[in-house]
Structure 1
C-alpha cells in the first residue's frame, strides 16, 4: 500500500508539474501586448495644433489625439469623434453629431463646446497652428447641444472634411490645451506616459477609451537618427518596427531575412531643394531655373535612396489624380544651367550655403546636389544642422539660402500661396488658382485647376523638385496592422497586433 500510495502521489506531482510547464509554455507563446517602434526624428513637442514637425503627428495622430474626422490607411476620410454629419444643399453648413460618453484622458467629458473651442482657437489671429489655412473657410462655429455642433463656411470647400482630419485639426480640451506640448491630453486609445528626452516616448493603453480596445497595452517610440544604428536595433530586436526606415541600402538584407516584413509604400512627401526666393540671387527666376536644370534627379535618387524613390517635377505626389509629369520641363541639362546663369549675370557662378537637416535623404542627397551645383559654377557650402535648428532657423526664421526637405503633409500645394511661408515665393496668379481650388467642389474642375497650378510652379521654379519620398517599412514578421502607405504622417496603432 505504501508503494502504491507513493506511486499515485508521484504521478499527481508529475501531472501538476506538467500542467505548470504547459501553462508556462502557453504564456511564453501568447501574443505580445507591447511594441517598440523606431523613429528618425524626435519631435520638438507633442502638440499637433502648434507645430509643423511631422514627428509630432507620427506619435500622437489617432493614438493620443482625435479629430472630428480621420484619415484611413486608404486615404479616405472616415468618421472619428463625429459619428455622422449632414451638409446643407449650398455646401456651406456642416452639422456634426458627436459620439457620446467620450472622455479626455484627464477624465473631463468631451462635448460640442470642445469642438467650438478647438476650431476657434486654431483659426484665431494669435493662433500658433502651423496650418491655419485649413480653417480659413470657417465663418463661425455654433454649439447646438452637448452632442451637436454646426460649422458654417464662408464659401463651399471641397476639402473641408479632409482638412478636419489633419493632425492640426484635432480636438483638444480647454483645460489642458496650454500644456499639451509636454503632457498631451486627448481622447484617443492611448495615453501619454512619459518622455525621456533624447531617447524615447512611451504611450499606454487608455482603459476608458470610447472606441474599440487596442490590442497593444504599451507602445514605445525610440529615436534613432543614425541609419546604421537603426539597422542594428532591428536586427537585435531592440525595436520591433521601423515604419519609416532610414537606411535604404539595408533593405535587401531584411528582404532576405524571414524574421522581417519589408513593406514599401508611398508617402505624401515631396522632397525638394528649397530656395529662399527673397534672398539674392534666388530672387531671380533664371537663377532658380538654372538650379533646377543643374540637378540630375536620378543620380540623387540612386545615391541617396538606392533607387527607391520616384522623380517628380511638381508638388503633387504621382499617385494624385491631378498629378502632371513635368520632370522634362526642368530636366537635367548642365549646359542650359550655365547659360541661364550667364543670362542672370553670373557667368562665373556664385557661392551660397546649403543647410541640411538630419534625415538621410537630406544629408546624402545634399552631398550629391552640392556636387552637381558645383559642376555648373554654384559653390554651395554644406552646413549640417539638427532638426530643432532647422525648424528655428530655416522654417521659422527663413535664415537660409538652400535646404533639402521632404514635405509630408497631404494636399499641401497651397503652401506656395502663403505670404509668410519660408520659400518667400509670391505669385498672384498661383494664389488666385489656389483660391479657386478651395472654393470648388467639382472633382474634375479641381483637378484641372491643380494642373494649371503645377505648370505655374514648374515655370517659376521657386524650388527644385527632386523625388517623392517612399515609405520603407520594416517590422517583425509577426506584427500586423501597421500602415503600408502614409496618406498622412502617422503611425496609427489602433489596429496593430501581434500574431502567434
Structure 2
C-alpha cells in the first residue's frame, strides 16, 4: 500500500492508550435492523453515471443500482456481471457475450440482448453525454444473436475493452428509464432506489428479486455532509456506520478519544491528484512555462501539511500500483532558481492566472499551496472556489479556466490526453500515435513499453503537474465487514457488506 506511512504512523501514535467512554446505541440499533448509514461529502447533481462523470454518482450507483456487462473488483480485475461469460475470436475484434438469465430491472422488465444493444448504442452515439464515450470509438457493430447472446465487432483491437465495459459509466440501462434515471434511477442491481431528499440524504432498499446473491443489509441511507468536521461529529454521536474518504486526519483525534467502536482503515485509490493546466492559455501553451511551474511546486511541503494525508508521489498520470509504472518523480525537482530561469527563456509575458478550486478538501489545501508557490516565481494566482456542478460546467465542459486542482479517479485513463476536446486542450500527434498503438495491442508484454512511452511523453511535455495518488482513508464501525480497503475505481459495493454477529 503506497501511502505515506510516516503520516499514518504519526496520526495513529496520537491515539490515546485508554478511552474515556463508549457509545453504541445508534450503531447497535442500525445493526439490529439490518441497516447501514453512511455519509458522502459531495451531493451529486444527478444519479445517472451514463451522463455525468461525478465520482459520487459512481459510489452510490455502481453495482448497487446499475450494473454493466462486466465489473471491476477490489483488485482492479475484470469479472463477470450481467454477462456471465464471453469469447473473443483470434483477430481480437469479435466479442460474443452470453447474458445472465432471469435478470430483471427494478421495474420488472426482463433484461435481453436487445436492451443491452440499445444501451450500448446510446452510450456510443454521436450526441451521447456519456463521460467515457471515447473509450468505445472502436465499436463498429453491435449484433443481437439471441435473447441472451450479444456480439460486438470492433474496428480495431483494444486491450482495455473488457475493462472499460466494467467501468461505472458503462452500465446497462433500459430505454424506458433513460429520461428519468437522473432523479429516479432504475437498474438491475441488488439495491433499488427509494428516496432522494435534496441536501440531506439518498436511501436504497435491498432488491429481493435480484438475479444474483441477495444483499445481507436491507436498508442503505447515505447522508450528504458538507464538511469533514460535520462527518466526524456524526461519527462521534454514533449516527454513522462509516465514512470512506477521510483526507484530513486532524479531525480524528477527538473521535478516537471518545469511541472505540470505530476502526481506521487505510488503502489506495487509482486517483491521480494533479494541477491541471489549460493549454489554450497563451502563457500555459509554452513548454518552458509549464516546466517552470512544475519546478516551482514543492511536493514535500504539500505532503507535510499538518493533518493532511497524501498518497504516493507521482511524476505522470499513472498509478505506482499498476503494471508498467515508470518512476518519473524526479523529472522536475523543486528548484525556484531553475524555474525562474525557464520563465525568462520562455519569452512569454507573465499574466495572472485563475485557479478554479472544486469543493474537496484536498483541492482546497493544495490550491493555497499553488498560489503561494507560484507567487515566488512571479506568477500571480487568483483562487475561485466553486461547487462541483460549477466545476463540471466551467472547467470540464466549457474549459473556462487557467489552472485547477483535481483527482482523476478513473483507472487506466491515459487515453484522455489523446482526446481533442478534453479540458486540458493538450494536442500532441506523437502522443496520439502512442495511444493508437496501445489501443491496438493486446499482448501485455508489448503493451508495457507503450504504457511507459505514454507516461514519459506526458512528463516531457509537462502537460500538468502530477502530484500524488489520492489515498483512501476509511473510518468504519468495527463490526462492519465487506467494504473495500482499496478503491481501484470509485465504488462502495453495499451488497458485499454485512454486519458481523
Q: Same fold (TM over 0.5)?
A: yes
In the other structure, the counterpart of 1:323 is 325
CA distance in 2, matches of 1:34, 1:304: 35
Instruction: For residue 261 of structure 1, report the CA deviation from its aligned partner.
Output: 1.5
In the other structure, the counterpart of 2:401 is 400
In the other structure, the counterpart of 1:282 is 284
Correspondence 1:210-289 to 2 at 5 A: 210-251=211-252, 257-289=259-291
Correspondence 1:317-396 to 2 at 5 A: 317-345=319-347, 349-396=350-397
Computing the radius of gyration from Cα coordinates, the structure with the larger value is 1
Instruction: For residue 378 of structure 1, report the CA deviation from its aligned partner.
Output: 1.0
Instruction: For residue 41 of structure 1, report the CA deviation from its aligned partner.
Output: 1.1
In the other structure, the counterpart of 1:451 is 452
Note the alpha carbon deviations across 1:101-155, whole angstroms, 9 max, x for none: 1100011111101110111111111111111122122111110111111111112
In the other structure, the counterpart of 1:176 is 177
5+ unaligned residues in a row in structure 2: which ranges? 1-27
CA distance in 2, matches of 1:424, 1:305: 34
CA distance in 1, matches of 2:61, 2:353: 38
In the other structure, the counterpart of 1:24 is none
CA distance in 2, matches of 1:128, 1:304: 40
- The question of 1:422 aligning with 2:431 is answered no
CA distance in 1, matches of 2:246, 2:30: 28
Q: Secondary structure, in 3 states, of the residue corresponding to 1:179?
A: coil
In the other structure, the counterpart of 2:197 is 196
Q: How many residues align?
A: 473
Note the alpha carbon deviations across 1:289-327, whole angstroms, 9 max, x for none: 111100011111221763442211000011011111111
Instruction: For residue 29 of structure 1, report the CA deviation from its aligned partner.
Output: 10
Instruction: For residue 252 of structure 1, report the CA deviation from its aligned partner.
Output: 5.4
Instruction: For residue 72 of structure 1, report the CA deviation from its aligned partner.
Output: 1.0
Task: Check whether the contact 1:225–1:358 (CA below 8 A) recurs between aligned residues.
Answer: no
Instruction: For residue 225 of structure 1, report the CA deviation from its aligned partner.
Output: 2.7
5+ unaligned residues in a row in structure 1: which ranges? 1-26
CA distance in 1, matches of 2:333, 2:325: 17
Instruction: For residue 498 of structure 1, report the CA deviation from its aligned partner.
Output: 1.0
Q: Secondary structure, in 3 states, of the residue corresponding to 1:172?
A: coil
Indicate the RMSD between aligned Cα atoms, in angstroms. 1.6
In the other structure, the counterpart of 2:6 is none
Q: Secondary structure, in 3 states, of the residue corresponding to 1:193?
A: strand
Task: Check whether the contact 2:124–2:133 (CA below 8 A) recurs between aligned residues.
Answer: yes
1:58 and 1:156, CA in 2 relative to 1: closer, same or farther beyond 3 A?
A: same
1:28 and 1:195, CA in 2 relative to 1: closer, same or farther beyond 3 A?
A: closer
CA distance in 1, matches of 2:409, 2:255: 25
In the other structure, the counterpart of 1:34 is 35
Moved more, 276-285 or 299-308: 299-308
CA distance in 1, matches of 2:452, 2:254: 40
Task: Check whether the contact 1:32–1:498 (CA below 8 A) recurs between aligned residues.
Answer: no
CA distance in 1, matches of 2:97, 2:35: 35
Instruction: For residue 55 of structure 1, report the CA deviation from its aligned partner.
Output: 1.0
Task: Check whether the contact 2:358–2:405 (CA below 8 A) recurs between aligned residues.
Answer: yes
CA distance in 1, matches of 2:500, 2:408: 34
Moved more, 249-258 or 155-164: 249-258
In the other structure, the counterpart of 1:483 is 484
Moved more, 229-238 or 425-434: 229-238
CA distance in 1, matches of 2:305, 2:99: 49
In the other structure, the counterpart of 2:294 is 292
